[in-house]
């Protein structure tokens, strides 16, 4: 059928050309009336004539010759015996032939069909043109209320493709057993949950887990988004819900997956100005359909959301979504398993450790980890490498966290020193404060909106933070701003993101966690949301005097952390200067290099085995050498090879002697 539709425009054009040709042919015929025909009969010689006898008239067509020129003619005259005999005699006298047609021979139908055929083809052409406008007919009125659920009958996803959520798999294994053999549940008098609600942050694999359940059970998988139900036309969403459950019942056993159910399942009657009537009608129909589902009918509703706090209580009660499965961010073991799944088709270098990569990515979801490996593969192709190297994955982690590096953005010399000391301040706090996170990487290369950043990882996976750890986080965030105050005597706007984070932590300590002198009292509702109508007209739960005390406690926590940060940086000023100089020269320092700076005063470990000599044409990596102070301000090695100079820091007490003393003191401590 589609092949013929492709030829329809060609057929239409041919029909138009044929009609125009027939019209032009008919235009050369001499149409005469009865009087003109009588006059022409006196002067012309008839060659032939065809007489079509109708009820009241005679239709005469033929040719005649006048002045040696042949001409076609047609004329309609009254149907009488005298006219019929006259026309016949006139033609025969001129030597022409006369043909009389039978009125019942069917020529009338041929004439009618000849006239209607072009009109019919034109009508068919425009019908298909309008029918296929709007993307193949998806916007037809009679299909508007149909469900938009997409059906997969042969799902290839299995549990082996889902990693990092072993406990969640155990929660849904009964669903697989039920869909495979529901009789054993019926015999025991048990009924499977009608609905399963999967809750968790974005990218943790909720959709993938639901698809894996359908794949393991080998049943059809209906997937639809919550926003597909809601339309601007009244009753459309409810109609689509009815159609979806009707279609699912015909394909039972099956799984119906509703992604982002909060789009249709929000609380009814909430929000400023009332609720959305169409959305609430859709939700009511969904509740009714789930109540109407009989036990063990072979349909399992699986929904996913990252906002369970906004769902309607009627949707969450037993008998509808009976079971809630929380899909959390993976731990280090789960991240390693996820990396192994996504690394199946990746060409990784033999030296790459997925376990080490998993330890470097705390807080990453499964989607983030897949993106890291994909970005690493893209960088390897861009660099024309045969395998994905560790440098590619390091850059991929930075790109996922902060965005691509802006290497074309150039600092002024003063700004570069400022950023170097800012990031060095964060690093020193992380090294010297016990409860602070471990510094993994420091760079002053701009990424995203940040002029530089510290990659700091916790020493171990935590499910909750102690007060001392929150204090250490605030102190670490104040390290950059405090370093600017200590070295330059002024502050910049580069710490705006740090201030935002530490303020949020301090407020939560006082208002939510009860970690202040105000005691274990919560002065904030963490679930309050103006768009749900929960606290739009509701005032605060505490007086103005308590609000003043809260502000005082928040300020006290931040001031104490600021004092601690200044003390640590003052006591370790030499290490701060050393890391800042190294950052200024090399722009990026790893955890190993920072540790070497703290322990040995240089980027490399002097006790490490010597590396093989590089080839003559291979450039050597320049190391920071502060052992000699040349008169011209440049360091030169014994073979007189030039090394890049270190500009003087525009800060007091910053000279080569202080740096030499710093290295000597650090060596004595070791």
Rounded to 10 degrees, the C-alpha dihedral 459/465/467/468 comes to: 0
| Mean pLDDT, range 38-61, rounded to an integer | 76
Q: Which of 395, 423, 484, 553 is catalytic?
A: 423
Least reliable range by pLDDT among 68-72, 99-103, 156-160, 359-363: 99-103
The reply to whether 423 belongs to the active site is yes
Ligand-binding annotation for 451, yes or no, is: no
Ligand-binding annotation for 652, yes or no, is: no
Judge residue 647's burial from the number of C-beta atoms within 10 Å of its C-beta, 0-12 exposed, 13-18 middle, 19 or more buried.
middle
Residue 440 has pLDDT above 70, yes or no: yes
Ligand-binding annotation for 535, yes or no, is: no
Q: 1 or 33: which carries more pLDDT confidence?
A: 33
Least reliable range by pLDDT among 13-22, 193-202, 224-233, 597-606: 13-22
Q: Distance between CA atoms of 182 and 593, rounded to whole angstroms?
A: 61
**Residue 170 CB-half CA count within 13 A:** 4
- For 523, phi and psi rounded to 5 degrees? -105, 15
> Residue 479's closest CA among 440, 434, 429?
429
Q: Do residues 494 and 418 make contact, with C-beta atoms less than 8 angstroms apart?
A: yes
Token reading at 570: 């003052």
Sign of CA dihedral 422, 424, 429, 430: positive
Which pLDDT belongs to residue 443?
Answer: 82
Q: Distance between CA atoms of 130 and 141, rounded to whole angstroms?
A: 13
Q: Distance between CA atoms of 576 and 483, rounded to whole angstroms?
A: 8
Which pLDDT belongs to residue 638?
Answer: 35
Ligand-binding annotation for 205, yes or no, is: yes
Which pLDDT belongs to residue 532?
Answer: 45
**DSSP conformation letters of 114-183:** HHHHHHHHHHHHHHHHHHTTTTSSTT-GGGTTS---EEESS----GGG--S-HHHHHHHHHHHHHHH-TH
Which pLDDT belongs to residue 642?
Answer: 38
Residue 286 has pLDDT above 90, yes or no: no
pTM of the model: 0.64
Ligand-binding annotation for 422, yes or no, is: yes
Q: Identify the three-state secondary structure at position 298.
A: coil
Which pLDDT belongs to residue 318?
Answer: 82
Q: Distance between CA atoms of 368 and 375, rounded to whole angstroms?
A: 10
Ligand-binding annotation for 559, yes or no, is: no
Ligand-binding annotation for 629, yes or no, is: no
Which pLDDT belongs to residue 461?
Answer: 67
Judge residue 599's burial from the number of C-beta atoms within 10 Å of its C-beta, 0-12 exposed, 13-18 middle, 19 or more buried.
middle
Which pLDDT belongs to residue 378?
Answer: 93
* Placement of tokens 């070497």 in the chain: 596
Q: Do residues 403 and 364 make contact, with C-beta atoms less than 8 angstroms apart?
A: no
SS3 content of the chain, % helix, strand, coil (to 5): 50, 15, 35
Task: Kindly list the structural domains of the chain, giving each domain's residue range(s) and its CATH number in brackets, ordered by start.
Answer: 2-128 (3.30.720.210), 150-326 (3.40.50.300), 332-402 (1.10.8.60), 411-528+542-608+620-670 (1.20.58.760)
Q: Do residues 425 and 483 make contact, with C-beta atoms less than 8 angstroms apart?
A: yes
- 142 contact partners, CB below 8 Å, separation of at least 6: none
Please report which confidence band the pLDDT of residue 474 belongs to, taking 50, 70 and 90 as the band edges: very high
Share above pLDDT 70 across residues of the chain, in percent, rounded to a whole number: 74
Ligand-binding annotation for 631, yes or no, is: no
Q: pLDDT tens digit string along 256-283?
A: 999 888 888 888 765 544 456 778 888 8
Which pLDDT belongs to residue 153?
Answer: 83
Residue 287 has pLDDT above 90, yes or no: no
Ligand-binding annotation for 148, yes or no, is: no
Which pLDDT belongs to residue 102?
Answer: 62
Residue 285 has pLDDT above 50, yes or no: yes
Least reliable range by pLDDT among 147-156, 216-225, 659-668: 659-668
Residue 161 has pLDDT above 50, yes or no: yes
Q: pLDDT tens digit string along 544-589?
A: 888 899 999 999 999 999 999 999 999 999 999 999 999 888 888 8
Which pLDDT belongs to residue 481?
Answer: 92
């Amino acid at each position: 059928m589609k092949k013929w539709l492709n030829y329809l425009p060609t057929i239409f054009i041919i029909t138009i050309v044929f009609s125009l040709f027939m019209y032009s042919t008919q235009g050369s015929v001499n149409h005469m009336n009865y009087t003109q025909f009588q006059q022409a009969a006196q002067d012309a010689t008839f060659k032939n004539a065809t007489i079509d006898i109708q009820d009241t008239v005679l239709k005469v067509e033929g040719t005649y010759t006048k002045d040696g020129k042949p001409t076609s003619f047609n004329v309609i005259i009254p149907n009488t015996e005298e006219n019929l005999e006259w026309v016949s005699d006139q033609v025969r006298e001129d030597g022409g032939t006369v043909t009389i047609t039978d009125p019942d021979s069917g020529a009338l139908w041929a004439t009618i069909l000849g006239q209607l055929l072009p009109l019919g083809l034109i009508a068919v052409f425009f019908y298909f043109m309008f029918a296929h406008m709007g993307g193949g007919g998806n916007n037809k009125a009679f299909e508007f209320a149909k469900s938009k659920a997409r059906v997969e009958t042969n799902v290839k996803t299995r549990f082996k493709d889902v990693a990092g959520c072993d406990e969640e798999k155990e929660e849904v294994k009964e669903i697989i057993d039920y869909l495979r053999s529901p009789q054993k549940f019926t015999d025991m008098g048990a009924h499977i949950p009608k609905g399963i609600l999967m809750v968790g942050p974005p990218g943790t694999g909720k959709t993938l887990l639901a698809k894996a359940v359908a794949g393991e059970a080998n049943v059809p998988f209906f997937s639809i988004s919550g926003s597909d139900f809601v339309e601007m036309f009244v009753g459309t969403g409810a109609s689509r819900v009815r159609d979806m459950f009707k279609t699912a019942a015909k394909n039972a056993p099956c799984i119906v997956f509703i992604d982002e159910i909060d789009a249709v399942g929000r609380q009814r009657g909430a929000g400023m100005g009332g609720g959305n009537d169409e959305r609430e009608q859709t939700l009511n129909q969904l509740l009714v359909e789930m109540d109407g589902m009989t036990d063990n009918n072979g349909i399992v509703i699986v929904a996913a959301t990252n906002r369970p706090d906004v769902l309607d209580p009627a949707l969450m009660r037993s008998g509808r979504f009976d079971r809630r499965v929380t899909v959390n961010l993976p731990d280090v073991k789960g991240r390693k398993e996820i990396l192994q799944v996504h690394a199946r088709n990746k060409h990784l270098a033999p030296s790459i450790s997925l376990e080490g990569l998993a330890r470097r990515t705390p807080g990453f979801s499964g989607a983030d980890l897949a993106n890291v490996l994909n970005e690493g593969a893209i960088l390897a192709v861009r660099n024309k490498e045969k395998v994905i190297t560790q440098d590619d994955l390091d850059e991929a982690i930075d790109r996922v966290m902060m965005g691509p590096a802006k290497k074309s953005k150039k600092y002024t010399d003063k700004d570069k020193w400022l950023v170097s000391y800012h990031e060095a301040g964060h690093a020193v706090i992380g090294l010297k404060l016990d409860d602070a996170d471990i510094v993994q990487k420091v760079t002053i290369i701009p990424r995203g909106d940040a002029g530089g950043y510290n990659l700091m990882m916790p020493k171990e996976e935590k499910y909750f933070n102690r007060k001392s750890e929150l204090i250490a986080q605030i102190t670490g965030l104040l390290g950059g701003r405090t370093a600017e105050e200590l070295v330059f005597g002024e502050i910049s706007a580069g710490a705006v993101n740090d201030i935002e984070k530490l303020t949020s932590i301090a407020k939560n300590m006082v208002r939510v966690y009860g970690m202040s002198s105000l005691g274990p009292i919560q002065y904030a509702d963490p679930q309050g949301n103006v768009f749900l109508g929960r606290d739009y007209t509701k005032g605060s739960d505490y007086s103005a005097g308590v609000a003043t005390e809260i502000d005082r406690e928040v300020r006290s926590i931040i001031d104490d952390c600021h004092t601690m940060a200044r003390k640590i940086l003052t006591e370790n000023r030499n290490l701060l200067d050393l890391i800042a100089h190294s950052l200024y020269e090399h722009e990026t320092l790893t955890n190993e290099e920072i540790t070497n700076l703290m322990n040995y005063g240089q980027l490399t470990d002097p006790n490490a085995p010597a590396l093989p000599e590089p080839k003559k044409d291979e450039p050597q990596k320049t190391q920071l050498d502060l052992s000699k102070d040349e008169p011209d301000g440049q360091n030169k090695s014994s073979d007189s090879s030039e090394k890049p100079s270190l500009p003087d820091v525009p800060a007091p007490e910053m000279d080569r002697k202080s740096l030499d003393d710093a290295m000597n003191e650090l060596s004595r401590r070791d």
